[in-house]
Structure 1
Amino acid sequence: MIDTRTTGGPQLKIDDRADTSGDELQRICGHIGDLSVEGTRADFDLATLLTQVPSPLTAINLDAARTVYHYQSALVLIELEATVLAVRAAALAYRQAEKGISDTFGGLLDYFGYVTGRVIAISLPALIPIGIAVGAPIYLGLKLLDVTGLDDVVAKHFGIDLAQTKAAAKEAFVALVFENSDVSGAIIEHVLPGIVVGFMGLPPTVLATDGDHALWPHDSSSMTAWVLGGANMFGLLLPSDVEVWKAKGITAPDDEPPRDIEDLYRREADRHRGVDSGQVRIEEITDADGTSRYIVYIPATSDWSPEPGENTTDLTTNVQAMAGNDTVMAEMVRQAIADANIGADSEVMLVGYSQGGIVAGSLAADPAFLNDVNVTALFTVGAPISDFPVDEGIDVLSIEHEQDLVPDLDGNENPAADHWSTITVDYDPEQLRQAPNLKGKTDAELDELFSSAGAAHSSAAYSASIGLMLAGGHAGLNRFTAKNSGFFSGDLKETRDYQGKRRRT
């Protein structure tokens, strides 16, 4: 069974269990209190009092027993009320401790980054000459070896292939970053903004600033905005308008609605695979009474160049979205939905992998978009969307590999909310080789799929993980498909595909 961890969704957490127990105890206390009141009222019933007149001694003994009963009942009620208070206090303390630990750890990383930034700023006059003195000869020496062909001599006589060594070092670094993605995410969220603030000489208190502004770096989003601003100065990662039109699909339309999460993800992955610029696909699904529901598939990155071009699924869309800005892909989705004449009351599911998930998450947190589009479900894979305040009326399922850096680029974990389930999968290439959808692949083909340092983010790896979870009857997948069954049943009435290109003025 593939190793997974699920957070959020309709499941009881420790503090929720405590609150539920407190509510139940409070109900019992109220019931006991009502019984005590009824008993006291019955003590003064006229018929009861008249029966005591012929037997005064019995009446005295009965009154004594009543007194003891009411006294003991009061003690029990007080103890139960005290227990209710203790349980509720424990739940509150748990929440505060959990929040406090997170805030304290984040604050320590902020301060570490700040101190590092100050050290760099103070040491810069000495670091620059040292860097030039050490780095320049190394760089010139390597260039000389390459130009003169002496690198081949080095490889032949000393067994050191410089190009191969460089590639291996790069691969090892990427593997280190991906395998420790949680640490990498914390560095992006806390340490890097701290370094910049410290280097600039700003007071460390600015790192504790809340809000979405980017006046100075204080989290991953504002840090991305600064990177974006710097790139824009050199003509890179520039925003643009977009032209959208209905097009022939990258793949042929399916005949039926997706049968499960694996099928849903396969259709999503096909929206960008093997093309320069991905497409948005909208499937209209109707049930027996004619009600239409729509699945909107948003493509992932297909172009990693920061330079201006026509592609909509490029690095610019990634960085713009992570900085909290509107993107050409989000506009493509809006125009596609408008062209498909999706009614304001029709249920819509947004689906996205990687960049597609970022765009889907941003739209699911956009009040203006949600005023026009009735998004009821969101499915993301390998996407950093924790910074987006997704509307609580939307049922969210996110799937992430533990060793995938990309979902950690926003520096936080997804909220463990009732409407938001996140399944974190331990990326194990040996186990993924057994996935049902990879049967028939040769060992060489499997090696190629899972050998790279960043393979944990590949669509093939996620497809294999989802296949294994589905085969194992994973409760999180079953819950999502059951709750959103209208998207997985009925008839596939129509499929529309949309292409776009950047338009620069």
Structure 2
Amino acid sequence: MSIEVHGGAGGMGARMQDLRSEAGLLDGLGDEVRRWSGAVAGTAIDGDVLEAAVLCPLEVAAVEGKVTAATVGPNGLLVVSTAFETTAVVLRASATTYEFVDQANERLMEALSNAAGFAVGLALPGLVLGGGLLALGGGLTLLATPGGPLLVAALVRNRDQLGALGMQALHDNPWLFEGLTRMAPGLIQGGTVSIGTLLGGPVGGLLLPFALSGGKWPTGDYEDAVAGLINAGGQFGLFDDAGKAGTVGEVEIPETARFQDPVTGEWIEVPYDADLHAPDSVEDIFLEQYDLYRDADPDNTGQVQIVTRTHPDGTVTHVVQIPGTEEWAPQRGDNPFDLTSNVHLMAGHDTLVAQQVQAAMRAAGIGPGEPVMLTGHSQGGIIAASLAADPDFRAQYDVQSVVTGGSPIARFDIPPSVQVLALEHDQDVVPMLDGRENVDRPNVVTIERDVDASELTVGTPYTGGRQDQLSPGPADAHDNRLYAETGALVDSSTDPGVQAWRADQEQFFSGDAEVTRWDVTRP
């Protein structure tokens, strides 16, 4: 198993920052050398030197020549200072040009992906209709041929194996998912235009997307595209996140915990080891994320875990652990960690679930000057990134770190003061949903792992040594136990960017720990 590290102390963004730092140093040297030049030039008009010119004109003339050469000559101080400052300008221009080209390429790729998706969306309804008729005709023809019914029966009988082969193919070719997710905003809009055209001609093709999206479509802007989807769903009673945040109450940590066997569906009870609730590594962070899931029974309303550490000098730090999506129905329910919150978060909206995380932090007594690390898997990571990008939230809490796994966070404008560690699996479609790569900055370390099918056996300390065999494909590549394994690779990494990140985060992984959990419900 291996990982790839992007960004951070060893990334291109850090090198761009180094270029600008060097430019600042050269600017300072240029100013200093210019001051030296002025001081040296001042000797030429010094009173003593001028008086000496009467008695020793030749000697003084030689001194004046040396002073002139040292200040404005070809190798003089003024020329040297100008060279320093010119180099500084070139370094700054190089960094700015690289970043401009990089951003322009990103915008071009988004535009091309949206255009391609729109074109596919326009053609999709016709392709589906024509393909369906073709499949029906082909199926009838096959049934009428000798041996055809046996072949159809064999395909039906082995449909699970065929599906597994399809998932294996997608697992082995994750670029298919990445291309599709980049095209998705345009594809949805193009499909809506096509359906509108089929129903009402050209006028319908223009009016349907505009009416469904509340005037947001057509658009090439990602947030507007998602906002239009929310508006379209709202016309059918979906994606409603209006109202007030619900209640928050502390959970008594039990002696035993229950989790559901993914194969049998049976609920299993195991001893609950409280010592495991104070993570001291990246691996532990995601084991705790799994723990939040395994404690969730069908009646659970979602829990936020807060680890408060007290250090020998009396200071305290906090790790806030936010779970991922637990309800996938598009209608709002009691559990705020749901699909509705997901789409609102990706549209850049303020959400009730984010408000309830803040309510849990207030209930836990987190003070305004106490360092905070926000962590989350999947939706939990989206919430963490959205809070870290919110200046009002940062005005209340000293957010110093964000750790995410399997979360699409590239579109959140997290400031340089917050250190970000983002874990992503190449076969996991969820981090691709924002259609953009994470930024390459000194404060953002992205860990990518290509998960081989042979690495899909996972277990945790919580399951008493029991191992689960995951299936190749996007769903199991998103499993937070698999992200815990990736976290272990991060913990042992010798990459300078990872090591620098870990050194900066030590305060969150050491000290006496107190763990609390908070139920969050909708009203």
Q: Which amino acid aligns with 2:229?
A: V
Q: Tell me which residue corresponds to 2:210.
A: none
Matches within 5 A, 1:427-466: 427-430=451-454, 445=467, 448-449=469-470, 451-466=472-487
Query: Could you say what secondary structure the match of 2:293 adopts?
Result: coil
Q: Tell me which residue corresponds to 1:263.
A: 284
User: Aligned partners of 1:84 and 1:366: how far apart in 2?
Assistant: 34
Q: Tell me which residue corresponds to 1:207.
A: none
User: Aligned partners of 1:81 and 1:120: how far apart in 2?
Assistant: 57
Q: Tell me which residue corresponds to 1:304.
A: 328
Q: 1:365 to 1:32 in 2, by over 3 A?
A: closer
Q: Tell me which residue corresponds to 1:380.
A: 404
Deviation, structure 1 residue 473: 3.9
Q: Tell me which residue corresponds to 1:490.
A: 511
| 1:84 maps to 2:88 | yes
Matches within 5 A, 1:357-396: 357-396=381-420
Query: Could you say what secondary structure the match of 1:341 adopts?
Result: coil
Q: 1:255 to 1:384 in 2, by over 3 A?
A: closer
Q: Which amino acid aligns with 1:339?
A: A
Query: Could you say what secondary structure the match of 2:274 adopts?
Result: coil
Contact 1:181 1:402 in 2 (8 A): no
Query: Could you say what secondary structure the match of 1:305 adopts?
Result: coil
Contact 1:297 1:350 in 2 (8 A): yes
Contact 2:30 2:80 in 1 (8 A): no
Q: Tell me which residue corresponds to 2:112.
A: 108
Q: Which amino acid aligns with 2:6?
A: T
| 1:407 maps to 2:410 | no
Structure 1 gaps of 5+ residues are 205-212
Q: Tell me which residue corresponds to 1:209.
A: none
Q: Tell me which residue corresponds to 1:210.
A: none
Query: Could you say what secondary structure the match of 1:389 adopts?
Result: coil
Deviation, structure 1 residue 216: 4.5
User: Aligned partners of 1:197 and 1:226: how far apart in 2?
Assistant: 13
Q: 1:176 to 1:282 in 2, by over 3 A?
A: same
Deviation, structure 1 residue 97: 1.8
Contact 1:224 1:319 in 2 (8 A): yes
Q: Which amino acid aligns with 2:342?
A: N
Q: CA deviation digits over 1:1-55, x for unaligned, max 9?
A: 7231221468663433332332233233223222221221112223334445444
Q: Tell me which residue corresponds to 2:171.
A: 175
Alpha-carbon RMSD across the aligned residues, in angstroms, is: 4.2
Deviation, structure 1 residue 405: 1.7
Q: Tell me which residue corresponds to 2:359.
A: 335
Q: 1:139 to 1:165 in 2, by over 3 A?
A: farther
User: Aligned partners of 1:31 and 1:87: how far apart in 2?
Assistant: 19
Query: Could you say what secondary structure the match of 1:254 adopts?
Result: helix
Size of the aligned set, in residue pairs, is 481
Q: Tell me which residue corresponds to 1:164.
A: 160
Matches within 5 A, 1:155-304: 161-164=157-160, 167-168=163-164, 171-172=167-168, 174-175=170-171, 178-188=174-184, 192-193=188-189, 214=216, 216-239=218-241, 242-249=246-253, 251-254=272-275, 257-273=278-294, 275=296, 276=298, 277=300, 278-304=302-328
Q: Tell me which residue corresponds to 2:266.
A: none
Contact 1:114 1:196 in 2 (8 A): no
Q: Tell me which residue corresponds to 1:26.
A: 27
User: Aligned partners of 2:390 and 2:85: how far apart in 1?
Assistant: 44
Q: Which amino acid aligns with 2:2?
A: I
Query: Could you say what secondary structure the match of 1:13 adopts?
Result: helix
Structure 2 gaps of 5+ residues are 197-201, 207-214, 258-271
Give TM-score, length-normalised by structure 1. 0.79
User: Aligned partners of 2:417 and 2:17: how far apart in 1?
Assistant: 20
Deviation, structure 1 residue 299: 1.0
Percent identical among aligned pairs is: 27
Deviation, structure 1 residue 410: 0.9
Contact 1:112 1:194 in 2 (8 A): no
Q: 1:110 to 1:460 in 2, by over 3 A?
A: same
Deviation, structure 1 residue 333: 1.6
Q: CA deviation digits over 1:280-318, x for unaligned, max 9?
A: 112222222443332221112233333554433333332
Q: Which amino acid aligns with 1:19?
A: R
Q: 1:194 to 1:333 in 2, by over 3 A?
A: same
User: Aligned partners of 1:227 and 1:256: how far apart in 2?
Assistant: 38
User: Aligned partners of 2:141 and 2:388: how far apart in 1?
Assistant: 53
Q: Which amino acid aligns with 2:519?
A: Q
Deviation, structure 1 residue 412: 1.6
Q: Which stretch shows the higher mean deviation, 463-472 or 64-73? A: 64-73
Contact 1:299 1:313 in 2 (8 A): yes
Contact 1:386 1:410 in 2 (8 A): yes
User: Aligned partners of 1:170 and 1:163: how far apart in 2?
Assistant: 10
User: Aligned partners of 2:59 and 2:447: how far apart in 1?
Assistant: 69
Query: Could you say what secondary structure the match of 1:20 adopts?
Result: helix
Of 480, 483, 492, which residue of structure 2 is paired with 1:471?
A: 492
Q: Which stretch shows the higher mean deviation, 234-243 or 398-407? A: 234-243
User: Aligned partners of 2:93 and 2:497: how far apart in 1?
Assistant: 31
Q: Which amino acid aligns with 2:123?
A: I
